Each structure stands twice: as C-alpha cells, then as structure tokens.
Structure 1
Amino acid sequence: MSARIRIAVDAMSGDLGPRVAISASQKFVTQFPDVDLLLVGNEPQLLSLLPPVKKLHERITLVHASDVVSMHDDPLFALRHKKGSSMWMALDLLRNDSADACVSAGNTGALLAIAKHLIKTFSAIDRPAICKSMPVDAGATYLLDLGANINCAPEHLHQFALMGSVLASASAEMAPRVALLNIGTEQQKGTDILKAAQLLLQSDERINYAGFVEANNIFTGAADVIVCDGFHGNIALKASEGVARFIANRIAKLIKKNVLNRVLCLLLLPLLKRLQHELDPSLYNGASFLGLQKTVIKSHGSADEKAFMHALMVAREQVIQQVPLRIQQALSQH
C-alpha cells in the first residue's frame, strides 16, 4: 500500500447512475485528505455533471471507460464481453496496484465474477463471501454470506466464520463472538451441514465460537459475527430492510392521523431524530467481498450520495486496517 490511499470508483454503475458517484466523491475527498480517488467512467458525461462554477477536485482523477455493466447483464456475459466497462477497468486498476481498493454500486454478480477473475481469492478460500455490518443494540454485527454463495458446504461456512472474525477484530480489538444462523439454539437443531460446520468452528482455536443464533436475535448483539449461506443471508437482509421501511411508514401515517398525534410527535421529535440517525441505512452501506486478495466494496445499487460516501469510508477503513492481509495471516496460522 502506498503512503496515500487510492480508491478506484466504478462511477457509472448503480440504479442512480454517475451523478451520485461524482457528487459523493467530490465531498469525500474534502473530508478525507489522505485519499485520492480514481473515477472510472465516461469522462465527458462525468464532467458534464459538475456544477458550472465547480471544478473537479485535484485529488480526483478521471479514467475514461467507454462501456458500462448494466444491472441486468448476465455475470458471465459481463466477464467475457465487458472488458472496456467502468467496472472491469476499476477492478483492473486494483489488480495492477494502481489502486488500494475498489468501490462499485453495480451488478453484484458481475462484480463478483470479474473480481474473482482479476483479483483472485486466497488459495485457502474456495469462495468469496459478501459481508456487511448491521445495527444492533450496541455497536454492529457482521452478517455473511449475503448472496454470493447459495449452496454452501460446512467447509465454506467455516471459511466465512474465520474471515468475518478477522474483519470484526480489525474494527474492534477483541475476540469477536461468532455464531451460526439456525432455526434454534439447541445442539440438535438444524441441517446436517450446520451441525458439521459447528464442529469445525468448535475445533478452530482462531474462532471464538458462540453457538447457534436465531434470526430474531440478529439485532440484539448476541453475536459479533453471524454466519450463514448466501440464500438465507440474503433473505434475512432483505426481510430486515422491509421491516425497517414498514415501521418508518407506519410511524409517518400515525403522525398524520390526527392533531394529537402531531403534537405528541413534536414532543418526541428529538428522540425520533436520534433514532432515525442511529438506524439510518446509509450509515451501514458498503458490503465487503471477503476472501479476495484485495479490498472490493459493494455499495447498494440505490445508494444516494450519503450512502455512497459511507461505502467509500468502508473501503478506506479496510485499507487502513489491512483486512485482506489479516485474513491471509489468519489462514496461514492453521
């Protein structure tokens, strides 16, 4: 890693297009003077999105890319035919050490496929896992895998647990409690795969295994790292996002229902604002592709400026924490 942190940004991908990436990047470099950004995308289009009186920040470099991986592109098609895309070129900057991390809000499957091809996984890791932090009673819990691997063997869950533990310990100096997501906490509950994975975690001294955890305890802080296959992890993530939206909508409707509710809302406004800030999904945007040899961060496709900035912050933090190197060192201890 160079003295300065360089982050390659796939500026063209995502549901909202390059406007979010360029505005977030402009603000980000003013807040973090140790970071240089490489914005990869259609240069004329990116420049056209700047306000007339505003210039591109001196620590932002544009790298022209003539193509884009769409949100609907098949991952294998993108891998074979999108070498001129902003996603491919951003990852290639990371591959050849022109950048220390890569951030994209684009097609998750394509990003994973191209990253595996260009960046590679560690030899002891069969499959990368998507991991992100979730708000809990105190602090955050890391949940993985969130969709990269639908079917997992016990060995894969074991690898996910180790990588998640390394990430959690890099963020807070401790021995993170690692749990397996299951339908019960009893030893006899769950599939044969989960039972076999539990034996692997129990016998690995590198992992502080805390047992099984049920989905209703994801947000209680019962574990610092929760491990599952990508099928169930993605369902848990999407269900939690849906419940959060439901609660927010219900509160909004109740406030508008009558005058008394509006008066009570004014009294509770400071508390509601604090709660809104603590549970703001923008503050948890930025999922890591753990298992790759370098830092790749996936931003939510619908991320706004604040959320995209947080994905950039996650990339910066993981470069500083040297997360891939820590994972490599943990793997070599076995």
Structure 2
Amino acid sequence: MPNSVRLAVDAMGGDVGPAVNVPGAIAAARATGATIILVGEETAIREELHRHPHHGLHLEVVHASQTVGMAEKPSEVLRRKKDSSMQVAFRLVRDGQAQGVVTAGNSGAALACGMFILGRIPGVDRPALATILPTLKNPAVLIDVGANADCKPYNLVQFGLMAEVLAESVLGIPHPRVGILSIGEEEGKGNALTKEAYGLLKSSSLNFVGNVEGRDIFRGDTDIIVCDGFTGNIALKLSEGLGAALATILKNEIRSSWISRLGALLAMPAFRRFAKKIDYAEYGGAPILGLNEIAMVCHGASNARAIATALEQAALFVKRQAKAHLVEGLKANTELALFSRSSKTKSPDPAPVS
C-alpha cells in the first residue's frame, strides 16, 4: 500500500525529459513509498517506464500535450501552454490531487506557475528559491538563488523570515543564525542593497549575525545566508562548478602515475564519500518559498539521481508538514507586513534569473 504522500513531477522538464525524470521518479517511489504522478506526453512516459523495473511501485501517468522549452518566456508559457506538463503538474497540486510538485524545467516559468496557479502566502511580496548547501558543520540555507534578480532591502528580510521557518521546521535548527552575503565581515561593507538590508535585518526578530563573505558560506557558522537572486545564483553555480573542477583535477592527478593509482585504491572509500558530499544531485532541488503549496525546482541538467533526491526532499517536506509550518508561521508573523512592499516605495517585479 502507498503512504499518504502524493507528488507530481513534470516528466518533460529539463534538458533530457522522461529519460531522467522517469527513472528518478521510480527511484523516489521505491525509497519513500509515495505515489508519484508523472505528467507529460503519455506515450513517451510509458515507453521510458518499460525500460525500468517498477513492479509494485505506485506510479501514475497524467497526459499533457505540450512541453515548456527552457528558453521560453514565462508569460508566454502561462498564456499559450495551458496543457503543458508544467502547468498540469502545478494544477494537480492546486486541485488537491498532489501535495507537491517537482520540475527541472524552465525556472522562470516554474516560478510564474507557482505564483499564478498555487498563489503566494498572504504578506509575501516575492517568492524566493532556497537551496540547502553542505557545510563543514550542518546544512545551511542560501536564499535567493535565482527567483529575483533585483531586490529591495525589505525583500531580503522577507527571505530571511521565510528561510527561518524552513530551517526550524524541516532542518530542525532552533533559532537559526542569519547572515547577509557581502564583500566584508564588518558592518558598513557592501553595496547600497546590502548596507540598507543589514540595518533592517539587525532590527528584526531574526537571529542576525551580520555579514557573511563568500569564502565563509561553507564553514557552517551561519545557518541562513540571504542575498538577491542575481548574487545567489552566481554563488550557487560557482560552488557547483568548483566542486566539479576539483573532482576532475583529483582524477587527473590520480591517473598521473602508478603510485597515485595505488594510493587511490586504498583511499577509494574516502574519495566516494567526498564525491557524494560535493555532488549537487545529492541535495535535490530548490524549494520555492512563499507559495501556498510545496514546489521544487531542479537544474535543467539534472540527472535521475537529482530528480529522485528532489522528490524525496519534497516527500520529507510533506511528512514534516512544511507547508503548514510555512503558511501558518508566516501568516502569524507580523514582521512580514512590516518588511513588505506595502510599507515601502513600490517597484516593478523583476524577471527571474535563468
């Protein structure tokens, strides 16, 4: 029997589509016992299902006739692709047929679907993408990593408030330490955005610890790092690229001599643990915080393991009632209105980072 968790996955999303989304969904269904709803072109999905053993797993297929391209404009997706796998998957959550959605498709379109189909939590000006990063100590939350390229200082405070609920309710971190990504540790360092946001964060109820330099993100001394989506997206992709480069350099050095290869055989268990820790696929997708429901966005280049991890993470969110914690926690937080657009000068919503 399946458990009570039901998740929708955009089976056509990402650079590869069903070839990674279907095996990823199978792996997640096997690991969690959840029911996974594969949304997309039914023939393509069933052909991929036939290639992988899935007997006894709880998988469903919902047909959608359209696919969202990675370069399409979010506004065009909303208007012209009502039957896209992405929109159908989000509507399944809205209509109560699933409790969360995972997509590796166009992140801007996913954000638009989240805002217009699932809706924002009252008081939230801009939903934000949060990612969970490994550190030398405990996992840390980096927010925003791509939803809002341009921000106002009060947006960063709201990001911190949303991430605080996530850190406490899902990661189990009591009274998480919050920092702002900047170019120096001292107060007064940074650009106009970080300087003003620093003051607002300092005056909030958050456990604000000050500026965090890029080199300190992975030390684990800060549980939540807030920044605008432009900076956060660069920091995230730089980190992933550095991890991949280090792994390649290490492999090349090992292959350089027979002595290195012999030593590598003895150290292989440690190398495997190292590779797992720096592999982005092990940390799933980025939840869109600020929506009324659970939605996760993965890399367009995600492999099956990354999709499986994102679905497992979404299942964990459901089991730990992350939606209720986020919605109720933020509704009850009077600071959300204090640090909002309605109390500041209005500015147009920016385009998401690709």
Corresponding residue for residue 19 of structure 2: 19
**1:248-280 deviations in whole A, cap 9, x for unaligned?**
111111111122221222232222122122222
- Whether contact under 8 Å (1:285, 1:300) holds in the other structure is no
Residues 275-311 of structure 1 show CA distances to partners (whole Å, capped at 9, x for unaligned) of: 1222222111210000011100012211111111100
Displacement of 1:53 in angstroms is: 8.6
TM-score normalized by structure 2?
A: 0.89
Q: Deviations over 1:207-264 (max 9, x none)?
A: 1111110000011102011000001001101111111111111111111112222122
CA distance in 2, matches of 1:55, 1:27: 9
* 8 Å Cα contact 1:68/1:85 also seen in 2: yes
Letter in 1 for 2:8: A
Structure 2 residue ranges without an equivalent (≥5): 335-354
In 1: Cα distance, 2:51 partner to 2:28 partner: 20
Partner of 2:268: 269
SS of aligned partner of 1:148: coil
- The CA distance in 2 between the partners of 1:52 and 1:181, in whole Å, is 45
Matched position secondary structure for 2:234: helix
Counterpart secondary structure, 2:71: coil
* Correspondence 1:47 to 2:43: no
Residue 118 of structure 2 corresponds to 119
Query: Given residue 194 of structure 1, which amino acid in structure 2 is its aligned partner?
Result: T
Cα separation, 1, equivalents of 2:236 and 2:118: 26
Is the CA contact 2:32–2:315 (under 8 Å) kept in the aligned structure 1? no
Q: CA deviation at 1:330?
A: 2.8
Distance 2:283 2:215 in 1: 19
Q: Output the aligned Cα RMSD.
A: 1.7
Deviation of 1:65 after TM superposition, in Å, equals 0.4
Question: Residue 306 of structure 1 aligns with which residue?
Answer: 305
Give the length in aligned residue pairs.
331
Secondary structure of the corresponding residue to residue 326 of structure 2: helix
C-alpha distance in 2 between matches for 1:203 and 1:291: 22
Asked if the contact 1:291–1:324 (Cα under 8 Å) also holds between the matched residues in 2, the reply is: no
Q: Which moved more, 1:187-196 or 1:86-95?
A: 187-196
Q: Give distance in 2, aligned partners of 1:12 and 1:76.
A: 19
Q: Deviations over 1:77-117 (max 9, x none)?
A: 11111101000000011111111100111010111112111
Q: Deviations over 1:132-191 (max 9, x none)?
A: 111100221110101110111111000000111111111114111110001011111112
The 5 A counterparts of 1:55-204 are 57=56, 59-170=58-169, 171-204=171-204
Q: What is the match of residue 323 of structure 1?
A: 322
SS at match of 1:49: helix
Distance in 2, Cα, partners of 1:55 & 1:223: 41
Secondary structure at the counterpart of residue 145 of structure 2: coil
In structure 1, runs of 5+ residues without a counterpart are none
Q: Percent identity?
A: 37
Q: Is the 8 A contact 2:23 2:52 kept in 1?
A: no
The 2-side partners of 1:73 and 1:330 are apart by: 35
Q: Which residue identity is paired with 2:199?
A: L
